[in-house]
Each structure stands twice: as structure tokens, then as C-alpha cells.
A = this chain, B = another copy of it.
Amino acid sequence: METDLSFDDTSEILKGLLEEIRAKSAMTMGYPVSKDFDFSELLPFINYPLNNVGDPFIPSTYTVGSREQEKEVIGFFAELFRAEEDNWWGYVTNGGSEGNLYGLYLARELYPKAIVYYSEATHYSVQKNLHLLNMPNITIRSQESGEIDYDDLEKTISINRQVPVILLANIGTTMTEARDDVGKMKAIFKRLAIQHHYIHVDGALAGSYAAFIEPRPAFDFADGADSIAISGHKFFGTLIPCGMVIAKKNHRDRIARSIDYIGTMDTTISGSRNGHTPLFLWYVIKKLGIEGLRARTKKCLDVAAYAEKVLREVEPAVWRNPSALTVNIPKPGKALIAKWQLASGADWAHIICMPGMDKAQIDAFVKYLKESKIRTVALVD
């Protein structure tokens, strides 16, 4: 790689990059990124080295940070996710992956001999996390929709009844935004008389708006979750990648004891922690409130329903899971995927109707798709 870092063309390069980013940012249809929020009031904070080092609920001598706001954010979601009063804890992570790593780590500390079960539609980072944590695990079949196959799950658990069960439930799979039902998972525990169990909810995609969907999906603490991880840069559009993990406090207390020998109560995965992202999350919550977030969800669902309808006119195979923002499209050619930055698997691609996407953008995409289909008839893509 040729890098010339001596000549000061910095400003020129930055100008070019900013232009490029502006243009490309307008064309991301396949990735779950909101682009509608004005955060300019927070920009002055970027000039200071905010760092919420360690556990947000334990004061630190380093006080340049946003611990109070972080605690409010965690409290807000603990309530939204119907955590038991005074039995919740959490922190703002660097993204969904870290939240899942934390939840699974917690589960391993509680049940070191457990097997972890998750559907084949689960995000690849979960397998990476399990590998990192050295946890035995079994992949369960998915239904066509992407939701876990409960029969396969029950059968597989039933032949491993001698060890505790850790389930990873997807609240919004990456490809089709399918939601596993935490209630049905708990019912399996009951039928098989499984005493030692843990459910971690990977809500990276849909966990942040699941509480506003009607009928409310079974995904939270009242439904049986032990920990929930969500993303901050998707539905909330924090611009800087982040997330949150919330867990039952009694679980976290056990982990705290188990690492007490290292003489610290730092129960987070990172040491130094971003102090800016909690401010972004706090800002969204303050500005929108519960009702604003509910309206934000409804608007997205409307756009998704519209997208499904008009896209199906071009591609009859287009489909969408109930109350999902993700619209699935038979995989188009490479050029189209690159131009619109679609996420794609082997046979399918999708668009995600995150806040900031509107019907006009959908129309532009549909128009392009239509024209590209006409071109494809004459020319192999």
C-alpha cells in the first residue's frame, strides 16, 4: 500500500471524503441506518474527551463523561422492556455485537456447562462470540420466514436435557427481520421441565421498536428474557455505532462476585467507554419520548407496507414478515446491489425502511428496478 502522509493535503482529502459520504449516505437502502435526526446541539461535546469508564452505576474518579444520561437511558429501556423493579442493570455498548457478547458471557458465568441454541438465521457475529467465549452450541433450523423452528428446538433440547439451556432469541433476524417468540421458548422449558435456563435476546435490529409494535411481540423481561441487547445506530440513528445491553441485576451481581478477585467492580466488557453515544441516545429519548417513538415506528411500518406493495408490482415474489421494516426481494444483479447498497444473502436481498426513508425514495428505487428489469431482458446483468 502506498501511503504518503507527509504532504499536507488533509483538508482537500477531507472535503472530497465528505462529498462522497454525503452522496453515498443518500443511497443506503439495505442497511438499517436512520438518517433523519438533527444532532447539531450535541456537536460541541465532541470537542471534549468524554469517557464513561467502567460500570455506569459506580462513580469513577474520572468525571468527564455522561454517566447521568447513560443511567437515564438504561432506566428508560429497563422500564420499556418491563424489567422487574430494582432488578435491572445495563450499559451503553459499542454496538449490538458487544451487547450479545455480554449477554452470552453472563449466561456462561451462570451456567458454565450449558449448551447454547440459536437458529440458523442468527447473525454470524453470534457464532463469533460463542467461539470467543468457548461455549458449546447447536444451530437450530429456521422456518422459511427466518423464525426459529420450535419443533426442532424442542427435539434438540429434549435429547440434551442433562445440561442447562441457553437460548439466543432473535428479535429481528438480519436478513428477514423474523422474530423468535420468547413465550414459546419458555413453554418448551416448561414442557421439558428444564430448571436451569437463560434467554438472551438479540434485539440488535428490531429490539429498539419491538415494544411499539401491535400486537406486542413476546421479547422482553416480562416475557422471560434474562438479558436484551439492542443497537443504537439503527432505529435511533445515533450516527456513531453503539448499542445497549440490559440484564437482570441479580445475574450481573453474580458475575460481579465472580470477577471480584481482580479487585474491581467493573462489570462491563470495555474499560474506557464512549461518553458521547449515551448522549445521542438520551437526546433521541428526550426529544421523542414514548409517544414520539411510537409514532416513529408507525411511520416506518407505513413506508414498509407501501414498499412491499409497490415492489411486488415489479417482483411478485417480494414479501415481508408481519410488522417488519425489512422488505425481501429476489436477489437482483451485482450492479444494482452496489448502487443502492442492498444487503444480500444467497438468493434474497432486502431494503429496510428505517426512519428517514420515505415513499419518494421507494418510488425512485422501484423505477430503477423496473428499468433494470427491462435492460436485463436484452442484456445479461
Residues of B within 8 A of A39 (CB): 46-47
A271: B residues at CB distance < 8 A: 95-97, 123, 125
Partner pick for A1 among B21, B24, B71, B96, CB 8 A cutoff: B71
1/0 contact string of A264-293 vs chain B (CB within 8 Å): 101001111111100000010111010000
Do B10 and A286 have beta carbons less than 8 Å apart? yes
A264 to B97, CA, bound (A): 15
Q: How far is the CB of A6 from chain B (nearest CB, A)?
A: 6
Task: From A40, A65, A134, name the one whose CB has the most chain B CB atoms within 10 angstroms.
Answer: A134
A273 CA / B283 CA spacing, docked (Å): 22
**Interface residue? A222 (CB, 8 A):** no
Shortest C-beta distance, A14 to chain B (Å), equals: 6
Contact B28 A62 (CB under 8 A): yes
Q: Is A147 an interface residue (CB 8 A)?
A: no
Contact with B along A47-73 (1 / 0, CB 8 A): 111110000000001111110010110
**A65 closest partner in B (C-beta):** B21
**A262-B128, A270-B95, A276-B240 in contact; A286/B5 too (CB < 8 A)?**
yes
- Residues of the B chain whose Cβ atoms lie less than 8 Å from the Cβ of A285: 5
Contact bitstring A82-100, B, C-beta under 8 A = 1, else 0 = 0000000000001111100
Number of interface residues of A (CB under 8 A): 90
* Interface segment, one of A155-163, A338-346, A365-373: A338-346
Q: Knowing A25-B48, A48-B21, A71-B1, say if A259 contacts B41 (CB, 8 Å).
A: no
A22 CB-CB contact with B under 8 Å? yes
A70 to chain B, nearest CB (A): 12
B283 near A95: Cβ-Cβ < 8 Å: no
Known: A10-B283, A14-B42. A64 touches B97 (CB 8 A): no
A-B contact pairs, 8 of them (CB 8 A): A3-B76, A5-B76, A8-B286, A22-B48, A30-B62, A33-B51, A39-B47, A94-B94
Which residues of A approach B to under 8 Å, CB–CB?
1, 3, 5-6, 8, 10-11, 14, 17-18, 21-22, 24-25, 28, 30-31, 33-35, 39-51, 61-66, 69, 71-72, 75-76, 94-98, 101, 105, 123-125, 127-128, 131-134, 231, 233, 237, 239-241, 259, 262-264, 266, 269-276, 283, 285-287, 289, 337-338, 341-344
